[in-house]
Amino acid sequence: MAVQTVATPAVDLGPAAALSCRECGHRVPLGPVFACEECFGPLEIAYDFSAYDTEKLRARIESGPANIWRYAPLLPVPADVADKPNLNPGWTPLVKAGRLAAELGVTGGLFVKDDSGNPTHSFKDRVVAQALEAARAFGFTTLSCSSTGNLAGAVGAAAARAGLRSCVFIPHDLEQGKVVMAAVYGGELVGIEGNYDDVNRFCSELIGDPAGEGWGFVNVNLRPYYAEGSKTLAYEICEQLGWRLPDQLVVPIASGSQLTKIDKGLKELIALGLVEDKPYKIFGAQAEGCSPVSAAYKAGHDVVRPQKPDTIAKSLAIGNPADGPYVLDIARRTGGAVEDVTDPQIVDAIKLLARTEGIFAETAGGVTVGVTAKLIESGALDPSLTTVVLNTGDGLKTLDAVAGTGLTATIRPNLDSFREAGLA
Amino acid sequence: MAVQTVATPAVDLGPAAALSCRECGHRVPLGPVFACEECFGPLEIAYDFSAYDTEKLRARIESGPANIWRYAPLLPVPADVADKPNLNPGWTPLVKAGRLAAELGVTGGLFVKDDSGNPTHSFKDRVVAQALEAARAFGFTTLSCSSTGNLAGAVGAAAARAGLRSCVFIPHDLEQGKVVMAAVYGGELVGIEGNYDDVNRFCSELIGDPAGEGWGFVNVNLRPYYAEGSKTLAYEICEQLGWRLPDQLVVPIASGSQLTKIDKGLKELIALGLVEDKPYKIFGAQAEGCSPVSAAYKAGHDVVRPQKPDTIAKSLAIGNPADGPYVLDIARRTGGAVEDVTDPQIVDAIKLLARTEGIFAETAGGVTVGVTAKLIESGALDPSLTTVVLNTGDGLKTLDAVAGTGLTATIRPNLDSFREAGLA
């Protein structure tokens, strides 16, 4: 377990009361720690929501800003968070996907939660925004992470906005386009001679070393705060449905954290009385080339056997997902499932979503749409129920996946040539 | 002048009452026409806002959706527009740019209106959304345009969402990345053997031919409707400032339409009593490699001499801007100016905006930020006044501009190597 030696000032993180172990319930004060000192289980935020009146809370949320800070009373952030420089992600469109529904045979209402509208065009802005507030609260001056893509941009941009130093670690041989996207924000961008596992190992070493003092690694020592950002997806979906729970949600699985936090967010809304207490089903989506949770689900296992990823859905390519067991539990408990699709099915689903709804998703969005189609075919997902599918990223960042797409015709600049091509 | 032969059903475009010639004031009924039959001047929308009560209108806007349709009472769209499938762009962040302000020496408040948050990540979604509603009203079944970039994606995506056919014309030898971005939405994407001028000439031919019946060219026969979308930038900026006019705006110039419509929008808000009647200055921004309006401004001319574009700011590279004379008039009338910056200055400005505010702009955003810096240096822009700078597009679409950006260090995966690199 990494305990930071940095001096922690008085911490105001709003309703966050303590850190609590998800396994044994042991509580510790808020701080930059992520693993239980008793059982090494993951720490998560324990809140004090006891003072809230349901209708006053609802009114406060509805009159809040058009970003995640409308939910500040439910997040580990200070009450004045909206006044501080941050990327202010969220309140992304919940698209009523009538044309996609018609293609898939969904009659109960199909919606795409399109997180490509976030500032750096992925859902990572939601989690990094929380980590940034925690970093400020703990007096950190450097925001850091290991990454091969979306997270690097989100951390670089958020640190730039806030005036913090950033230092992002990536494998040294990443594609040039991804390096440019991460480097443009002007922070330190350090290539590590090794693969992504080497980068991660190095970051763990750095956190335990004096050289890492004052560093907030968003998904390591700030992970309990960071992870809470995914709850905002659940809040927004329900509020955008008119404070209703969807019947079914299809969520991508990388580490599994997002899916578990969406479940947590839905349960909070029920407990707070903001939505009615009714069943909902959560479905997890993976790429076949990195499907450790799907494989465990299908085999009826409670534990997840690590895989070596080989898929175009690189933003989901975590072969040893930390929250895998929790995902299995949620899928089974809610009556959902975990399913996977092949790379060609991912590409087909990206194109299907684009041509029916005008949403250009990254590969992770192809995974959720493709899995939705597969779950309908198998009967696991009920097409007569209200269903929300997540798109967590932007197709502009994974152009290679659809590189085969091109011109439908080439003509000379005259009407005869136009007619010959059968375009009239 | 192109008069469509398509049958026009009864047209409900909300407060839009007629088309009116900007030059001679001649009025014609709403229809898919764009040039005055009397004087060949440009037609624009004439509204009937006479029934509006200021405070009721303000309340209606404030309770509207978090997109451009909150301003439906001020746009050429039916009252139920928000219920129809459309990309629903707008309500993008107005970022209080404190760190950029400090670098530029702005003390009166500096804001960046960041339109990269739109569905296809450029301001073009605003104008295409209007054109789509007009296309529906006129019974068009195909949405079309000529384009080399942002517009192609916006038209393809909007048509997909609405279930219209799209047919986009581009030069056949465009970069593969741009072709993919335009092709993914599944409409017709036709390469024309020729340059952009040839593509445009062909589109004009097609509009006048029976083969073009039922086709809405967003920026040709639907241009009067399309252009109104830019007004929403003015509306949002003022509402996001708390229903206040900014003192100074810096707006990019391609055809000049956006700048003229922002001025129109500000004047409408004043006339409607939604903001106080006070002076504001509008500054136009161009790239030196395509600066016909800036050149005319500096020479004191009222007309614009066409140029052959040669700049990395391709989304602004219109050498013969249709609204150039109107831009000159607005800049002079409001006490603004028109200025240009070199390609290296554009790149520097993109990096400056990214490292101070975490906003990764396309080259057009580099133009406005660079011009802002230059106008402050020259004294034309007053740093003690509230200033809004537009970023109209996304850096992910013009990665080549900052391709030189890269790793700040490469190290081996251990702490010694980290320390040697001076990163601790």
User: What is the enclosing helix (H) or strand (E) of B266?
Assistant: helix B257-271
Chain B's closest residue to A394, CA to CA, is B120
Residue B160 lies in a domain: yes
What are the chain A neighbours of B176 within 8 Å (beta carbons)? 403, 406
Q: Select from B270, B317, B265 the least CA-distant residue to B71.
A: B265
State the pLDDT at residue B71.
98
State the pLDDT at residue A4.
46
Residues B372 and B342 grouped into a single domain: yes
Residues A294 and A189 grouped into a single domain: no
Domain of B129?
124-226
Query: Nearest-5° angle of CA A107, CA A111, CA A113?
Result: 165
Cα dihedral B152, B325, B264, B394, rounded to 10, equals: 30
Rounded Cα distance between A405 and A395, Å, is 13
pLDDT for A377 beyond 50: yes
State the pLDDT at residue A3.
44
Output the six-digit token pair for B232: 């929403």
Output the six-digit token pair for B126: 């605003």
Residues A207 and A259 grouped into a single domain: no
Rounded Cα distance between B300 and A404, Å, is 50
Q: Select from B252, B232, B229, B405 the least CA-distant residue to B315.
A: B252
Chain A's closest residue to B208, CA to CA, is A415
Rounded Cα distance between B354 and A157, Å, is 7
Rounded to 5 degrees, what are φ and ψ at B299? -85, -5
Residues A117 and A128 grouped into a single domain: no
Q: Select from B217, A77, A37, B29 the least CA-distant residue to A69.
A: A77
Q: Which of A187, A403, A413 sits opposite B199 (nearest CB)?
A: A413
Amino acid B44 reads: E
**Residue A14 β-bridge partners:** none
Residues A205 and A308 grouped into a single domain: no
- The mean per-residue pLDDT over the stretch B374-382 comes to 98
How far, in whole angstroms, is CA A121 from its chain's centroid?
Answer: 11
Residue B176 lies in a domain: yes
- How many residues does this entry show for chain B? 424
Residues A174 and A238 grouped into a single domain: no
Number of Cβ within 10 Å of residue A357's Cβ equals: 29
Q: Select from A214, A235, A200, A232 the least CA-distant residue to A322.
A: A200
Rounded to 5 degrees, what are φ and ψ at A146? -105, 145
State the pLDDT at residue A306.
95
Residue A249 lies in a domain: yes
Chain A's closest residue to B114, CA to CA, is A119
Q: Which of A206, A351, A415 sits opposite B205 (nearest CB)?
A: A415
pLDDT for A278 beyond 90: yes
Strands B110-114 and B16-21 come out as unpaired
Residue B32 lies in a domain: no
Rounded Cα distance between B79 and A69, Å, is 30
Rounded to 5 degrees, what are φ and ψ at A217? -85, 110
pLDDT for B107 beyond 60: yes
Count interface pairs A-B at CB distance under 8 A: 235
- The mean per-residue pLDDT over the stretch A243-256 comes to 97
Residue A58 lies in a domain: no
Q: Do A179 and B87 touch (CB under 8 A)?
A: no
Residue A220 lies in a domain: yes
Rounded to 5 degrees, what are φ and ψ at A248? -140, 140
Q: Which of B177, B195, B226 is the last residue of a domain?
A: B226
Burial (Cβ within 10 Å: 0-12, 13-18, ≥19) of residue A301? middle
Rounded Cα distance between B145 and B135, Å, is 13
Could you please report the per-residue DSSP string of A258-279?
A: HHHHHHHHHHHHHHTTSS----
- The mean per-residue pLDDT over the stretch A77-97 comes to 97
How far, in whole angstroms, is CA A108 from its chain's centroid?
Answer: 25
pLDDT in tens, B225-265: 999 999 999 999 999 999 999 999 999 999 999 999 999 99
State the pLDDT at residue A149.
83
Residue A367 lies in a domain: yes
Which candidate in A114, A185, A193, A400 is best for mutational testing of the B interface (most B CBs within 10 A)? A185
Smallest CA–CA separation between B193 and chain A, in Å? 5
What are the chain A neighbours of B405 within 8 Å (beta carbons)? 179-180, 183-184
- Residue whose structure tokens are 């975990």: A338
Smallest CA–CA separation between A172 and chain B, in Å? 7
Q: Which of B202, B226, B250 is the last residue of a domain?
A: B226
Could you please report the per-residue DSSP string of A278-310?
A: ---EEEEEEETTB-HHHHHHHHT-SS-------
Q: Which of B118, B199, B412 sits opposite A193 (nearest CB)?
A: B412
pLDDT averaged over chain B?
A: 95
Output the six-digit token pair for A374: 């597969």
pLDDT in tens, A150-170: 999 999 999 999 999 999 999
pLDDT for A7 beyond 50: no
Output the six-digit token pair for A264: 């947590």
pLDDT in tens, B7-25: 444 799 999 999 999 999 9
How many helices, marked H, and strands, marked E, lie in chain A? 14, 14
Residues B194 and B237 grouped into a single domain: no
Write out the E strands in B107-260: 110-114, 142-146, 165-171, 188-192, 215-217, 248-252
SS3 category, B188: strand
Query: Nearest-5° angle of CA B278, CA B279, CA B285?
Result: 140
Residues A192 and A246 grouped into a single domain: no
Amino acid A173 reads: D
State the pLDDT at residue A6.
46
pLDDT in tens, B63-105: 999 999 999 999 999 999 999 999 999 999 999 999 999 999 9
Specify the CATH number for the domain of residue A98: 3.40.50.1100
Residue B236 lies in a domain: yes
Q: B212-246 burial string, b = 16+ CB within 10 Å, else e?
A: bebbbbbbbbbbbbbbbbbbbbbbbbbbbbeeebb
What are the chain A neighbours of B98 within 8 Å (beta carbons)? 85
Smallest CA–CA separation between A43 and chain B, in Å? 27
Rounded Cα distance between B149 and B142, Å, is 19
Structural domain count of chain A = 2
**Residue A281 β-bridge partners:** A248
Residues A204 and A266 grouped into a single domain: no
Residues B235 and B356 grouped into a single domain: yes
What are the chain B neighbours of A121 within 8 Å (beta carbons)? 121, 394, 396
pLDDT in tens, B408-424: 999 999 999 999 998 87
% of chain A surpassing 90 pLDDT: 90
User: What is the enclosing helix (H) or strand (E) of B134?
Assistant: helix B124-137
Residues A276 and A373 grouped into a single domain: yes
Amino acid B74 reads: L
pLDDT for A253 beyond 90: yes
Residues B129 and B236 grouped into a single domain: no
Strands A142-146 and A215-217 come out as parallel
Q: Do B407 and A205 touch (CB under 8 A)?
A: no
Handedness of CA A9, A10, A14, A19 (dihedral sign): positive
pLDDT for A374 beyond 50: yes
Q: Which of B211, B226, B241 is the last residue of a domain?
A: B226
